[in-house]
Amino acid sequence: MSGVITGFAIILAVIGVGVLLARFGVINNDRERLVLNRVAFYAASPALLFTSVANSDASTLFSPVIVVIFLATAATSLIYILASLGFFRQDLPTTTMGAASSSYFNSVNIGLPVSIYVLGEATYVVPVLVLQMVIVTPFILAGLGAGPDEGGGRSTAAKIGDSVRTALLSPIVLGSFLGLIVAVAGISIPAPVMTPLEILGGASIPMILISFGASLRNTAPLTTPADRPGTIVATALKLVGMPLIAWLIGLGMGLDDTQLYAAVILAALPAAQNVYNYAATYQRGMIMARDTVFLTTFGSLPVMLGIALLFGR
């Protein structure tokens, strides 16, 4: 499990840098902090996703594990949406962030070390990355964009339609789509083009983590009463609900022990920093996304250790 521990250490160290930068006044306010999120959203993250997907082996993009993850993501999101409709009465963007926080997991800076060092290969996590960015992200961005119509006079269906179009044309989704085309078509990108994109993409995760750390200054998880129920439910679903759902689906599909273990371990990964980045960029459900990412980042390590023990690994 050294790879898991290393992945968590990297994340916590960079978050700590963000906390220190905010405490010593290098990042003075939310306006300065959110510049990092906007640069990551519109430039660095699209570059990272394009290069990651473009460099992947197209033959590994389809496996029973990815089917389990897709179904578990949909089921977990649906459970949160039903809980929101029945108990929280959140608006659509906030419900979207809660559903994303409960099911959209960290497939890059924790998922890659887990896949390589715990599962023994990276072939399981790359398809998940493609699934999240090409299929799941447009729905998240569409939900975030379908907020109240301050101008009035427009139907909910029209607003959702506009937000879906905007989501599909967002830099992050376009970068993922283009990377998928390159991978499937087997196109070779020249080094003078790919290398600058890789360098730019390398800035994405640090910027998101630093902004996340800066947002923790003078605050603590679960201190906002309005966001507390949603955060608790999203955290419980991410740490316990989604792995359990993945296990049940995997059993029903007849996955072998190795594939079942891979699906359950991946489902137990913490909520992705990208969820917080989307919330911060759109200024919707930001506190709930931040708190869920924070709590699941700390809580997922013992959960994954427990899963490894249950599978005898």
How confident is the model at residue 113, as a pLDDT?
A: 56
Q: Which CATH architecture has domain 2-310?
A: Up-down Bundle (1.20)
How many Å apart are CA 163 and CA 99, to the nearest integer?
17
What residue segments make up the domains of the chain, in order of their start?
Answer: 2-310
How many Å apart are CA 113 and CA 240, to the nearest integer?
21
Kindly state the DSSP code that residue 96 receives in the 8-state scheme: H
- Within 10 angstroms of residue 225's Cβ, the number of other Cβ atoms is 7
Whether 93 and 146 have beta carbons less than 8 Å apart is answered as: yes
Q: Which amino acid is at 293?
A: V
How confident is the model at residue 136, as a pLDDT?
A: 84
pTM over 0.85: no
Reduced to 3 states (helix: H, G, I; strand: E, B; else coil), residue 170 is coil
User: For each of the chain's 313 residues, which pLDDT tens digit applies?
Assistant: 565 677 677 878 888 999 999 999 999 887 888 898 889 888 988 898 788 778 876 666 677 888 999 999 999 999 999 999 988 888 888 899 999 999 998 776 566 556 655 665 556 777 787 778 778 888 888 888 766 554 455 555 665 566 566 666 778 778 878 888 898 888 999 999 999 999 998 888 888 888 878 877 766 778 788 889 999 999 999 999 999 999 999 999 999 998 898 899 899 988 987 788 788 888 888 889 989 988 998 888 889 888 888 888 7
Cα dihedral 230/235/236/238 (nearest 10): 120
How confident is the model at residue 149, as a pLDDT?
A: 52
Pick from 3, 55, 292: nearest CA to 176: 55
